[in-house]
Structure 1
Amino acid sequence: MRPRTRSDQAIAPHGWVQALLAVLSALIAMGAAAALGLWAAGATDLPDGAFPRVVAATVVTAVGGTIELSGNAGGLADTQADLTVIPLSVTLTGALVIAAGFLRPLRHRAVAGAGELAGWAARIAVLWLLALLALALGARQTFQLSLGDGTLSDLGDTFGVSPEVGFETDLPPTLFFGLLWLAGVLVLALLVSRGAPLPARLLRFQETVRPAAYAMVVLLLAYVALGIVIAVVVAFTRGQAAATLAVILLGMPNLVWLTLTIGLGATWNGRVEGPFGLPMPHVLDEVLRGSDTATLNLRTLAEYDGRVWWLVAVDAVLLPAAAFVMAARSPARMRAWQHALHMAVALALTVLMICLVGRISAHYGLSVLGIGDLGGDLNGELLLEPEVWSAVGLAALWGLVTGFLGALLARPVRRTGETKTAGTADAGRDSVRP
């Protein structure tokens, strides 16, 4: 029997063991990020040994799962609670790890059949759904709220009010959106990786789609890396290392991708009431805190801190850089207006994704005898939503300008499909004549 060559290994079947390793690696990475972030945020102090269940719930929400909050305060009282937020640091960690596990057996390949790719993805999907089901079943817990001292405590003793709040996973939407998240990650991995094989029928799309997808991923990761550097510097100079670590491990993309859209000119609307707080610079919390919905954009932020205009400067540097990367990875025959169009579409879709996953909604309250929320630490609201279509339109406009500029900057770079000049070609032919 002849020894297996590298080519033989490259086309080896993608078995269940490899799929299991990919899924377990992603879940372990996501769980570690969630656990460390929640530990830094002080979640280990939760009663009744709830910390592991909160970690599981965090991982579930990171992949689009739905966590339902419930309350019970006896016959004379009522509790209300809802929460919609995606910890994008955990999401990004899982996406990077599972994408690497998906692409690893496909390396050194030029073309792969649609059936082969579908079979390999299906193995991962089956194991992913089973793991997600186990996490979802474990993500449930009930807490008893303390009424504290004074009037509220007396009121609770008088009426027998002992408020409880709990959470559990809504299984059907969690499994559906978790599978949808996985499909999106695997498709994006195929689009971004230059070395990943595609079915023969899709090869004609790789010259236009892959450079743009790669550039957007580089752009998003660059913002995350820049945010981490700034956060570490702030932690060393101003303290609060634990809070900074919590932001990095749970919500860094939530923060930096928000600033990306604001730098483009986008507007977000929000409100912060009660003990809730945003894992963001103090200026954002100042703008949003109050009883009325506030507008969050360059103008309103500049009224509190003029340094917010640096967000425009950062966009003006990183977007042309991403456009340059896109143009440098594109065929040489592609014209500048085509690069501009591709950049506009790619950036518009990227901002749309940020708007969909970056919104936050949270509320909880306790009422007795039907008399509204009691306020204080027993009532809070947090809201952050984008003006989606204006943000997408501004992104398309920025994409057109920076895409054209990136194409001009990439002209000196030798690219795929570039041909030699006629003189050089003739000289080469003369050199081989007898």
Structure 2
Amino acid sequence: MSARTSSGPAVSRHGWAQALVTVLGALAAMGAVAALGLWAAGATDLPGDAFPQVVAATVVTAVGGTVKLSGDAGGLAGTEGGLAVIPLSVTLTGALVIGWGFLRPPRHHAVAGAPELGGWAARIAALWLLALLGLALAARHTFEISLGDGPLGDLGDLFGFRPVVGFAADVPLTVLIGLVWLAGVLLVSLMVSRGAPLPGGLLGFQASVRPAALAMVRLLLASVVIALVVALFVAATRGHPVETFAVMLLGLPNVAWLALTVGLGATWDGRVEGPFGLPMPQVLDEVLRTPDVSELNLGTLVEHDGGRWWWLLVADAVLLLTVAFVMAALSPPSVRIWQHAVRMGVALALTVLMICLMVRISARIGLSVLGIGDPGEGLSGEVLLKPRLWSALGLALLWGLAAGFTGASVAHATRRRRGGTGH
């Protein structure tokens, strides 16, 4: 890279190669995490050499793409299914790689022109579009289902049924949502990086938005790190290490960010039925495995498994106060305490909104022959998990206001004691 004021010429000469490295690096990292997680989950045993297609489907869903389930069991049989779940470990891996690659070329420049940043983002987007098309076309497969030795198996043998189920990515929707996901990753990267250059007209944004955005990213990453430590402890002390590693590699942020909202007092409605289940901790599956939709919150966790779950409340309070203090310390001294509180409240509410949209789960599959087998026979099941959105957002706003006010007060008092007037 040249050391001149604008990196435009250098990016123009080398932008496509750097964009290709960024996109391929993200795909390789996401594919590796997905493959290892699926291997730990036993997906290598799927029939028909379907493992590569399942890996592709996992990466597709990680960027918000849609994978549709389908089935064919003949005229006297019925199949139904649906799947909506995001493997956020894969998502987070891709976001970190793309964000790093996007910010690296212009990192030595204090100010970047809008055409420069726009051109650099467009190169990445063009290559990402091609990658999405390839992934969506590869994410399709069909499986033949064994009906077993019970009544379903007897009926299948009698009538010659060979039920098959399959999955296929919705190509147009996957491309559209995948591009929106990329735009979000690039925007958040600019928002949180203190070293990233901005066009001159957006420099005011640096002082007002970046500290809050950075605080929220640190909050999310810190919760994932804590969940990782807990997961490693569980794997080392309570057995089932392979299953635990499968959850870590596919859905650790799902668990961590769900716990973050529960610690804030949010309630999730859910149900677990059939052979499916929710990831660790096992208490989540136990609370929701009921005939009807159940509540998942601090109260039901404590009622079901003792008072140790109150530590979620304590952990959230410590994390929020810490990031609020750091946010205030990184902001200009001219920012008032009430402004910190408002910014923290809004930022936390937006973060919880993102969590609610990404962590929710809806999975359903059913198979019946002449009305037999749904539910029963281990071939049907459902997992549902959805937030009570407005109460979660209201609680996040209140927590953010309180933590922002307290953290800013401590930061201002510390700054006065040190006699500092700068950052």
Same fold (TM over 0.5): yes
The C-alpha deviation readout for 1:168-222, integer Å capped at 9, x for no partner, is 0101110000000000000000000011111111111111100000000000000
The answer on 1:369 being equivalent to 2:370 is: yes
Report percent identity of matched pairs.
68
| Conserved? CA contact 2:375–2:381, under 8 Å | no
The SS at the match of 1:106 is coil
The answer on 1:351 being equivalent to 2:348 is: no
Deviation at 1:367, TM superposition (A): 1.9
- Give the Cα–Cα distance (whole angstroms) in 2 for the partners of residues 177 and 195 of structure 1: 28
The answer on 1:303 being equivalent to 2:303 is: yes
Deviation at 1:78, TM superposition (A): 1.1
Task: Please give the residue correspondences for 1:37-56 in structure 2 after superposition, counting only pairs within 5 Å.
Answer: 37-56=37-56
Code of the aligned partner of 1:348: A
- Give the Cα–Cα distance (whole angstroms) in 1 for the partners of residues 336 and 157 of structure 2: 75
- Give the Cα–Cα distance (whole angstroms) in 1 for the partners of residues 39 and 284 of structure 2: 24
Aligned to 1:401: 402
Deviation at 1:409, TM superposition (A): 2.1
Aligned to 1:424: none
| Change beyond 3 A, Cα 1:263–1:242 | same
Deviation at 1:322, TM superposition (A): 0.9
| Conserved? CA contact 2:34–2:58, under 8 Å | yes
Deviation at 1:21, TM superposition (A): 0.4
| Conserved? CA contact 1:10–1:107, under 8 Å | no
User: Which structure is larger by alpha-carbon Rg, 1 or 2?
Assistant: 1
Aligned to 2:91: 91
- Give the Cα–Cα distance (whole angstroms) in 2 for the partners of residues 374 and 205 of structure 1: 55
The answer on 1:328 being equivalent to 2:325 is: no
For structure 2, the 5+ residue unaligned runs are none
Aligned to 2:11: 13
Deviation at 1:9, TM superposition (A): 8.9
The SS at the match of 1:378 is coil
Task: Please give the residue correspondences for 1:13-412 in structure 2 after superposition, counting only pairs within 5 Å.
Answer: 13-14=11-12, 15-305=15-305, 306-370=307-371, 373-411=374-412, 412=414
- Give the Cα–Cα distance (whole angstroms) in 1 for the partners of residues 371 and 40 of structure 2: 37
| Conserved? CA contact 2:111–2:199, under 8 Å | yes
Code of the aligned partner of 2:315: V
The SS at the match of 2:277 is coil
The SS at the match of 1:167 is strand
Code of the aligned partner of 1:205: F
The SS at the match of 2:11 is coil
Deviation at 1:160, TM superposition (A): 2.4
- Give the Cα–Cα distance (whole angstroms) in 1 for the partners of residues 17 and 5 of structure 2: 18
- Give the Cα–Cα distance (whole angstroms) in 1 for the partners of residues 2 and 345 of structure 2: 44
- Give the Cα–Cα distance (whole angstroms) in 1 for the partners of residues 6 and 49 of structure 2: 47
The C-alpha deviation readout for 1:251-300, integer Å capped at 9, x for no partner, is 00000100000000000000000000111211111110022000111111
The SS at the match of 1:246 is helix
Code of the aligned partner of 2:26: A
Q: TM-score, normalised by structure 2?
A: 0.95
**Over aligned residue pairs, what C-alpha RMSD do you find?**
1.7
The C-alpha deviation readout for 1:386-411, integer Å capped at 9, x for no partner, is 00110000000000000011102212
- Give the Cα–Cα distance (whole angstroms) in 1 for the partners of residues 298 and 198 of structure 2: 42
- Give the Cα–Cα distance (whole angstroms) in 1 for the partners of residues 401 and 2 of structure 2: 47
Size of the aligned set, in residue pairs, is 416
| Conserved? CA contact 2:23–2:127, under 8 Å | yes
Deviation at 1:6, TM superposition (A): 3.4
| Conserved? CA contact 1:348–1:393, under 8 Å | yes
Code of the aligned partner of 1:246: A
For structure 1, the 5+ residue unaligned runs are 421-434
- Give the Cα–Cα distance (whole angstroms) in 2 for the partners of residues 255 and 261 of structure 1: 10
- Give the Cα–Cα distance (whole angstroms) in 2 for the partners of residues 408 and 358 of structure 1: 33
The SS at the match of 1:101 is helix
Code of the aligned partner of 1:6: A
- Give the Cα–Cα distance (whole angstroms) in 1 for the partners of residues 275 and 73 of structure 2: 20
- Give the Cα–Cα distance (whole angstroms) in 2 for the partners of residues 339 and 8 of structure 1: 33
Deviation at 1:413, TM superposition (A): 4.2
Code of the aligned partner of 2:403: T
- Give the Cα–Cα distance (whole angstroms) in 2 for the partners of residues 413 and 49 of structure 1: 62
Deviation at 1:7, TM superposition (A): 3.7
| Conserved? CA contact 2:125–2:179, under 8 Å | yes
Q: TM-score, normalised by structure 1?
A: 0.93
- Give the Cα–Cα distance (whole angstroms) in 1 for the partners of residues 312 and 122 of structure 2: 42
Deviation at 1:419, TM superposition (A): 3.8
| Change beyond 3 A, Cα 1:108–1:288 | same
The C-alpha deviation readout for 1:358-391, integer Å capped at 9, x for no partner, is 1000010112235672423111000000001100
